[in-house]
Structure 1
């Protein structure tokens, strides 16, 4: 970990990411409060989630193909500038008549984000050695989860003591600081420009490439199932605020066990994944889906808040752990020439699954209650985990010597 933080590119990417996450966690609970206040609906967060994710999903279809011919450093700088300006505008929305403006801002912020994530992934793969990428992904995820613990706790108290609106300004300030760090980001080696192919052709090539690579397609399908299960979170606000009658600050405090589960996942994945091999990782991924299903059932059938928090921690551990392993696996499997497109398509399919899941879960909670919907998610998790375990039996690392050579060379 220390060696990674001495790396000039990764250190700045990591620091900028940390500062952005701090602000993002303050804004997250503020958006929940804003949408709830403006609409008066316990399911307003579900609608907000759709307005966040669908633009992200649609933009991710083509962002990777565009990024291949763009300066990744410049993309990250411009995106953070735009996100900081847009987030600050939430502060001025005070009337239900402008609920539409809140949704427009959510759309614009997430269109920007659809370009940032693939650009950051390319930057990591181009500058971090292949053997260090699992450690890099674990450090990023573990730190993100730790910040969820700290920042959501602070944000919940600020909401309880003051107005949530000031959280939007804090987030805008964090984007400004993150932007200053990215301005000092040194240049890094990029993939050769493919000037002979146009945007539409590159887009088609990306989908055809994934269609030919069964292991990559399998990992993407796995992450779609995991994100569908992750939609239980959109039901949590309805469950806490409406069915249990708790305050908004309780919803914020429940993010603490979620963050703690992510920290534990980062530590365990970083220490054990290299010893497990491909077969062991595939088994861990399959059991993680089943574990998510069981813990989701427990969350919505628990009485005491402490039991709900414990089930949330276990669910987060399984979810974040599977995400770390799956992202690292994609970095290993994808040809560097297709990397930006693979990760932009990944964002499209995973967030698309999450968005569909939010619609189903949100509507189902309103019609049948959270307990019934959580039972359905539990069955889905167990079935998806079993299918993954059966489908991955005997699977080995299929990377060719040429791919390994290119991958290792790219990290130098």
Structure 2
């Protein structure tokens, strides 16, 4: 693969991410279908989704802390191997009396994912050169896009035609395949890093602190609107435009296409990443407002591509800033904290959005979500102006 010539080690992490992501989509589709088939309860479906979010409170912090103390490659391999048998226990769920097995499986897999993510992100900072971080973080968004497009569609097809049990088996196999890819990854002890400081860039701890804390603030605020948007996707497709599963699939496909597009946009960015990330948040909000009043699903789908693209650019820029301005031996804890807090925020926002759409129309809720994004961007602009007075901007290309 030509695009990996400058960072060959990341290729194995990329492949593992694609395999793991598609397997997770297979399992998610099959689990939700199984719950509905056995119980027909939307409340229990919500409970399953909630179980997937709660472990991030603890296990992301744990994963981040251990990533700074132990070999990151081995941590990821062991996590995948532990998840393998638990991915298979869904095969034993046949009735409502056995649903506890399903909940245990969902909880353990969610704990593994929560633990795995900060280890993975801190690994990127250890194996990729600083001048390649933006492109690699853009490829991370491609993974999400590919998983959205291929994982959701193929997961639904497999579950429908071959049954949930086949989906569960395939998901379990993906953990073994991902572990095999990771085995080829170079050792990534927490104290090693091949990131080199850029010539002429002066960094004091105070300067690094301001920039990283700005990123943390942005990443703690945006999950609120992301959670609202996640809930609205299904409602827009199925109810607002009255196209049922077809509408949902079309909009999710648009999101995936936008994340793939974000790779090409982010590849062109060389500086001013923080300012561009803030601008992207505001643009995302403006397009969410426009999508909320869209007269057709085709216009909405086009807007979803753009929303996802600018969101992917923002996410890639913010991750790049953290990786480039945080010592490699501290990145696990930073990403652990971010994963823990952002996923908790996301879960609470989705719960709040679920309540709101029972009281108000999805279009109205979507408009409010877009306005919140614009407000967040405005607050960040104010913070950036304050930051400019405290650091020597002419000596850094981040802001």
Coarse TM-score class (shorter-chain normalised): 0.7 to 0.9
Q: Residues 90 and 308 (structure 1 numbering): CA distance in 2 closer, same or farther, change over 3 Å? A: farther
Q: Residues 5 and 98 (structure 1 numbering): CA distance in 2 closer, same or farther, change over 3 Å? A: farther
Tell me if structure 1 keeps the 8 A contact 2:223–2:345.
Answer: yes
1:387 to 379, 393, 399: 379
Partner of 2:155: 155
Question: Which stretches in structure 1 are left out of the alignment for 5+ residues?
Answer: 193-208, 405-412
Matched, 1:190 2:187: no
Q: Residues 131 and 45 (structure 1 numbering): CA distance in 2 closer, same or farther, change over 3 Å? A: farther
Distance (whole Å) between structure 1 residues aligned to residue 326 and residue 386 of structure 2: 20
Moved more, 104-113 or 376-385: 104-113
Tell me if structure 2 keeps the 8 A contact 1:5–1:11.
Answer: no
Partner of 2:276: 284
Distance (whole Å) between structure 2 residues aligned to residue 8 and residue 266 of structure 1: 18
2:347 to 352, 355, 359: 355
Moved more, 283-292 or 127-136: 283-292
2:263 to 263, 266, 269: 266
Partner of 2:77: 77
Q: Residues 363 and 341 (structure 1 numbering): CA distance in 2 closer, same or farther, change over 3 Å? A: same
Tell me if structure 2 keeps the 8 A contact 1:156–1:249.
Answer: no
Question: What whole-Å deviation, never above 9, does each CA across 1:232-282 have from its counterpart, x for those lacking one?
Answer: 2134335545666654464344321110000111110112x10xx22xx33
Question: What whole-Å deviation, never above 9, does each CA across 1:135-165 have from its counterpart, x for those lacking one?
Answer: 1111232243134223333334445545344
Question: Which stretches in structure 2 are left out of the alignment for 5+ residues?
Answer: 193-204
2:220 to 221, 224, 248: 224
Distance (whole Å) between structure 2 residues aligned to residue 44 and residue 295 of structure 1: 33
TM superposition shift of 1:381 = 1.0
Partner of 2:200: none
Tell me if structure 1 keeps the 8 A contact 2:231–2:354.
Answer: yes
Distance (whole Å) between structure 2 residues aligned to residue 394 and residue 380 of structure 1: 21
TM superposition shift of 1:342 = 0.7
TM-score (norm 1): 0.81
CA RMSD of aligned residues (A): 3.1
Matched, 1:88 2:84: no
Matched, 1:335 2:327: yes
TM superposition shift of 1:303 = 4.7
Tell me if structure 1 keeps the 8 A contact 2:241–2:247.
Answer: no
Distance (whole Å) between structure 1 residues aligned to residue 313 and residue 110 of structure 2: 24
Q: Indicate the SS of the match to 1:393.
A: helix
Distance (whole Å) between structure 1 residues aligned to residue 75 and residue 345 of structure 2: 26
TM superposition shift of 1:350 = 1.3
Partner of 1:125: 125
TM superposition shift of 1:43 = 5.9
Matched, 1:316 2:308: yes
Tell me if structure 2 keeps the 8 A contact 1:8–1:186.
Answer: no
Question: What whole-Å deviation, never above 9, does each CA across 1:218-239 have from its counterpart, x for those lacking one?
Answer: 2111012222211121343355
Tell me if structure 2 keeps the 8 A contact 1:210–1:216.
Answer: no
Tell me if structure 1 keeps the 8 A contact 2:212–2:325.
Answer: yes
Partner of 2:196: none
Distance (whole Å) between structure 1 residues aligned to residue 113 and residue 37 of structure 2: 26
Q: Residues 189 and 2 (structure 1 numbering): CA distance in 2 closer, same or farther, change over 3 Å? A: farther
Tell me if structure 2 keeps the 8 A contact 1:295–1:315.
Answer: yes
Tell me if structure 1 keeps the 8 A contact 2:17–2:143.
Answer: no
Distance (whole Å) between structure 2 residues aligned to residue 398 and residue 42 of structure 1: 51
Tell me if structure 2 keeps the 8 A contact 1:59–1:111.
Answer: yes
Partner of 2:138: 138
Partner of 1:197: none
Q: Residues 294 and 6 (structure 1 numbering): CA distance in 2 closer, same or farther, change over 3 Å? A: closer
Q: Residues 171 and 299 (structure 1 numbering): CA distance in 2 closer, same or farther, change over 3 Å? A: farther
Tell me if structure 2 keeps the 8 A contact 1:12–1:185.
Answer: yes
Partner of 2:26: 26
Distance (whole Å) between structure 2 residues aligned to residue 63 and residue 143 of structure 1: 21
Distance (whole Å) between structure 1 residues aligned to residue 240 and residue 93 of structure 2: 28
Distance (whole Å) between structure 2 residues aligned to residue 133 and residue 36 of structure 1: 42
Distance (whole Å) between structure 2 residues aligned to residue 210 and residue 241 of structure 1: 49
2:288 to 271, 278, 296: 296
